Structure 1
């Protein structure tokens, strides 16, 4: 008996008991659908994070105050009180004699404040920064201009609004450019409106208000000072000339700040330098945990489906004992019987896998539709993985029933009632 004939007999046997076959495949269908949906949405999330990181600027390093990691047990370093970043830190970092490969270093002094125009008041995030921010963040004004060097030096009271801020703050018949708004009751002249960028891993850029960082430090948030009385920064954005220089630049910044903050080898850093790879690793670890958890559920479902296939195949062997005896009596060999029942189990599992792939794809699209930005990505890898698992489950759980059928003695089988 060849494989094609075995396949034809298997289909005939399965269609003879349609409902039983469908119920048997249910575990395989659920397991494969879960694998496809999980991998599709997971790959979509990773693609979304990468796109958002690229849209927020490429070849970026971000310096923030404080440490994101605790000292490990046995680590001789001690934790230090968090020391804020200062303008002096920013100026030292941007000096090419201290840190090479830096294209631009941008200070940020952030805080919440009430922004008002007429009778409308909004509580928003104010980002104090300088003229290099659009270049570093790949985020430019759609109308008007951004902050200029003279605004920074002169602590100018000028503001650039995110798209959503401009729409909510001003009536439709009022042109925002040139209007005066009040931030914490301090008057600012609107000089620009940013292009639409939307939300992402770094927050919603369209709800920000940008002012010169010197103005933010002196007029809006004068209480943000270091122990020495220096104005402080929320973070420092750094654009590196080439991706291959990110690691070396990060190490140079860490050495420089450890020296400036008087940190010895026994002390833990009181700052953190983050690059895009770190952020991707964080998201990857989160999605990895979820993938492992949900993958375990899918594996259990496949296991249950496989046990169901084995049980049904054992029942089928019992029901078809006389058929097996008759086939052996007319010359069928053990390997023919073994092949027939193995093919039946694998066909049952494969059909369940195909149905599961279709349902998994539909489920992934439904999950992706819950978010405007998310999309499901069905890769060849996930299809091959699901197909391979289906066939392996059918093969593994079909071996015992197939062996049992092949070992039946023809005389005993023909006597079976």
Structure 2
């Protein structure tokens, strides 16, 4: 009996009871569909992360303090003196107050407040819309109560009106808006300037009692001098703190790899959960094939009595299991593709990126599941003795 004849016979048999076949395939459909969708979301997230980091360039360093107390404080003036070195282009120390209450007239919302200097905007590649300005050195020098507002924050508080020149109340302190940022998206560490309010560093430290500088961004003139800049800032901090354990310095590649690893780890965990659906679907296939063997005992006896060999019966039932799981995998593949393409419509901030290779692997795995779990029922059917099968009522 040829392979084509086995497939045709299997299709004819399973289509005789379409509802039962569909319910049997359900676990496989959900499993394959989930794998395809989750992988596309994970790859879309990874591509988004890469795009975000590429937009900041490859010559950026991020310094984070790990300890507490006066022994691990960074001095703003000492940090800025490092700009005279040829391997360091610009430095932007920052302090952040998360969840600040920002109010304009009767509208109030919580946003992150970032205290920094004028270098922050060019270093983070964020632009100010026409009609406004970024922070300038004098704002930090004189602790001016001015602010540059992100696009999302401006939309929430001001709608379509121009926020420049308006006063906002930030945790009881009045700041004047001098500029509005163009939309940027998520930045390093997952923060978004779109939903932030940026104020002079010294004004932020005085007004909100933020204390020491915890994070500093440094930019090298080019990627070739990045390692030299990292060595310089490492030596400076180790000398200042008398230890190399109180701080962490990361460059763009390290940050990108860390973010990609975190995204990949989460995606793999979700895929593992989705694969459980495939295994459950395989158990369902084995269960229904055992029922099928019981229902078709007389058919098996008749076929054996007219010359069908054990391998013919084995291949017949094994093919039925493979066709059921294969059809389920195909439907799951189509479901996963549809879900991946439609996902950004419901969640525009979460892009997807389809992987034909992963879809093919998921489909082949579904067929393998059907074969593995269909092996026992097929073997049971092939072992039936013709006389016993014909006696079955």
Band of TM-score, shorter chain: 0.7 to 0.9
Q: Normalization by structure 1: what TM-score? A: 0.76
2:237 paired residue among 251, 254, 257:
257
1:104 paired residue among 80, 90, 107:
90
Matching of residues 218-297 of structure 1 within 5 Å: 220=207, 232-241=212-221, 249-263=229-243, 269-284=245-260, 286-288=262-264, 290-297=266-273
Deviations 1:52-75 (A, max 9, x none): 4445665432112225xxxxxxxx
Task: Decide whether the 8 Å contact of 1:64 with 1:85 is kept in 2.
Answer: no
Query: How large is the RMSD of aligned CA atoms in angstroms?
Result: 3.9
Structure 1 residue aligned with 2:135: 147
Structure 2 residue aligned with 1:203: 191
User: What is the distance in 1 between the residues matched to 2:230 and 2:277?
Assistant: 46
Offset, 1:160: 3.2
Query: Any idea what SS the aligned residue of 1:308 has?
Result: helix
User: What is the distance in 2 between the residues matched to 1:171 and 1:322?
Assistant: 76
Between the two proteins, the alignment pairs up a number of residues equal to: 390
Structure 1 residue aligned with 2:122: 135
Structure 2 residue aligned with 1:48: 48
Matching of residues 24-103 of structure 1 within 5 Å: 24-55=24-55, 58-66=58-66, 83-91=72-80, 93-96=82-85, 100=87, 102-103=88-89
User: What is the distance in 2 between the residues matched to 1:119 and 1:288?
Assistant: 43
Task: Decide whether the 8 Å contact of 2:89 with 2:219 is kept in 1.
Answer: yes
Residue 298 to residue 117, structure 1, CA distance change in 2 (3 Å):
closer
Q: Could you tell which deviates more after superposition, 234-243 or 281-290?
A: 281-290
User: What is the distance in 2 between the residues matched to 1:117 and 1:319?
Assistant: 74
Task: Decide whether the 8 Å contact of 1:41 with 1:368 is kept in 2.
Answer: no
Q: Are 1:348 and 2:335 matched, yes or no? A: no
Q: Normalization by structure 2: what TM-score? A: 0.80
Query: Any idea what SS the aligned residue of 2:15 has?
Result: helix
Q: Are 1:309 and 2:285 matched, yes or no? A: yes
Offset, 1:302: 2.1
User: What is the distance in 1 between the residues matched to 2:101 and 2:305?
Assistant: 92
Residue 332 to residue 273, structure 1, CA distance change in 2 (3 Å):
same
Query: Any idea what SS the aligned residue of 1:272 has?
Result: strand
Structure with bigger helix share is 2
Structure 1 residue aligned with 2:150: 162
Offset, 1:309: 1.5
User: What is the distance in 2 between the residues matched to 1:374 and 1:236?
Assistant: 29
Instruction: Give structure 2 stretches of 5+ with no counterpart.
Output: none
User: What is the distance in 2 between the residues matched to 1:392 and 1:341?
Assistant: 14
1:320 paired residue among 290, 293, 296:
296
